[in-house]
Amino acid sequence: MLEAFENGADGVMVIGCLEGDCHYLSGNIRARARVARVAAILESIRIGGERIRMFNLSAGEGAKFAAYVNEFVGQVRELGPSPVNVVRKNAA
């Protein structure tokens, strides 16, 4: 997740299956906890915790997926580029 930010992402969506429906039983619940940890890390280094979010979807929810992506992209656009990307742009 952090690597995505290092590679230039302004925001990262983590999408798991619906809670209670995980093939690995609690994989998606644990993933949510890990995402919360990464959000806290991003907050602590002033990149911003709101740039990462966990979503839960089933494989059949294409329309919902598109709606989530649009919503998140909109939110990230509002936030603007990640501070690390701002530094990179200024240095270039």
Partner 1 sequence: MITGTPKPIEEILEMIDPYERIVVAGCYGCVTVCRVGGEKEVQVLASTLRLARETAGKKITIKEVCLERQCDPEYIEQMRPYIHDYQAVLSIACGAGIQFLAEKYTATPSLPGINTGFLGVTERQGEWAERCQGCGDCVLHLTGGICPVTRCAKSLFHGPCGGSVQGHCEVGKDTPCGWQLIIDRLKSLDQMDNYVKLKPYKGWNTSRDGGPRRIVREDMI
The residue ranges that bind partner 1 (CB under 8 A) are 2-3, 5-6, 41, 44-47, 83-84, 87-88
* H or E stretch covering 16: strand 12-16
Least separation in angstroms between residue 31's CB and partner 1 is 14
SS3 call for 22: strand
Closer of 34 and 64 to partner 1 (Cβ): 34
CA distance 89 to 79: 16
Closer of 14 and 41 to partner 1 (Cβ): 41
Roughly how many angstroms between the first and final C-alpha of the chain, as a whole number? 25
Closer of 36 and 67 to partner 1 (Cβ): 36
